Amino acid sequence: MPWLAAFGSVLSFLILFVLGQFAVFRGRRYRASRTLWRGIRLGQDGSAITYALMAIGWSLLTLLTLGLAFPFMRASLERYRINHTLIGSSRMESTARGRSLLLPWLTFYVVVLLPIAGALIAFLVATDFTIPDDLFIPKEGGKPGETEFNSDYEDTPIATFGALLLGTLGITLPLGLLLIPFYRARETRVFMNAASLGAVRLSSTLRARQFYWPYLVYLLSVIGFVVILGLVVGGAGLLMQAQGMASGFHWAILLGMTVGYLGGALFFAVLYVRVITARLWAAVATTTVIENAGGLDAVLASSRRVGSGLNEGLADALDVGGALEVGF
């Protein structure tokens, strides 16, 4: 129907979101059923449809509350995953609560949203809540559609608070990105401490600084790769120019960019796993201890059947995971 065309992208996103959440739960169940500990098979029960519906409901509530429900959504989904995780005939349990994550999550509002909201309100007050139509005018001698700031508004409150708004965005948005590892480290620690198997509990002492270091190493590696690639391509181009091979200069640049893009995509993917994913999991593992480990001797094997391998295919196709998430 033609009227659906306008909503095509939204519907596609919703369908992929639902399928993604369904795949997360089913893929996790598949991997659990293929995991053995002391010859005892892990497993997972529960409904993937219920999990997907929970994710949809919580996502809508998160949007309606301007993000305030996000930590409660994360805790609720974590409880459902862990409470339906089986080790032999024993069931795991999670007591994770969103209120334990609310204070770290509100840091984003204090550092990012409140300054932006304040600067935006100040700008709107300066413009009497009406942005002038001629605030930006066509640039003289510029390309079609190119604009510049109208000099008539220089040294006015509009220009002052407009610059304040742009400056606030330039400062708070990078700070918000820097807060993500802090929140994810706190979330991971809370989730680990909330998991138990009868009297056996996990205890994590994970700190945010252990999440920052892998990202710093990765960032420096990416910068180094880009700099080296630029030097190689630029040096090759200059050499060809010096030898009178100007006709092949553009082809050399194009070839270098293509090889750099393909090689860089593979390099960054491998580097992300080796530098970030592996180190984050190492940080989680080395800061977690098992309390009352003697209770594990009471865990008995189960006779339940192994789940179908079809569970994993959808998760692979949609590129989603199902285990405890760490990092970005």
Q: Sheet with 200-204: list strands edge to edge.
A: 93-94, 195-197, 200-204, 288-291
Q: Are 13 and 59 in contact (CB under 8 A)?
A: no
pLDDT at 42 over 80: yes
| CB-based contacts of 136, cutoff 8 Å, min separation 6 | 147, 148, 149, 150
**Alpha-carbon span 10 to 173, nearest angstrom:** 26
266 in helix, strand or coil?
Answer: helix
pLDDT at 324 over 70: no
Enter the tokens of residue 114.
């409140």
Q: What is the model's pLDDT at position 301? A: 81
Q: Is 208 exposed, middle or buried (0-12, 13-18, 19+ CB in 10 A)?
A: middle
**Alpha-carbon span 318 to 19, nearest angstrom:** 8
Q: What is the model's pLDDT at position 72? A: 97
290 in helix, strand or coil?
Answer: strand
**DSSP designation for 107:** H
Q: What is the model's pLDDT at position 327? A: 41
36 in helix, strand or coil?
Answer: strand
Q: What is the model's pLDDT at position 323? A: 43
Reported as a single tens digit per residue, the pLDDT across 275-312 is 888 899 999 999 999 999 888 888 888 776 665 555 45
Within 10 Å of residue 131's Cβ, how many Cβ atoms? Answer: 12
Residue with tokens 């802090």: 182
Reported as a single tens digit per residue, the pLDDT across 106-124 is 999 999 999 999 999 988 8
Q: What are the backbone dihedrals phi and psi of residue 201, each rounded to the nearest 5 degrees, phi first?
A: -130, 160
Displacement of CA 281 from its chain's centroid (Å):
16
Q: What average pLDDT score do residues 4-10 get?
A: 63
Reported as a single tens digit per residue, the pLDDT across 222-280 is 888 778 877 776 666 666 666 655 555 566 666 666 776 777 778 788 888 888 888 99
Reported as a single tens digit per residue, the pLDDT across 121-155 is 988 888 888 877 777 777 776 677 777 777 777 87
pLDDT at 322 over 60: no
Q: What is the model's pLDDT at position 182? A: 92
Average pLDDT, the chain: 82
pTM (2 d.p.): 0.79
**Alpha-carbon span 70 to 76, nearest angstrom:** 10
Residue with tokens 């050499």: 239
| CB-based contacts of 80, cutoff 8 Å, min separation 6 | 46, 50, 51, 54
Q: Are 248 and 232 in contact (CB under 8 A)?
A: no
Q: What is the model's pLDDT at position 5? A: 57
Q: Are 181 and 258 in contact (CB under 8 A)?
A: no
66 φψ region: left (φ > 0), alpha (ψ -120 to 50), beta (else): left
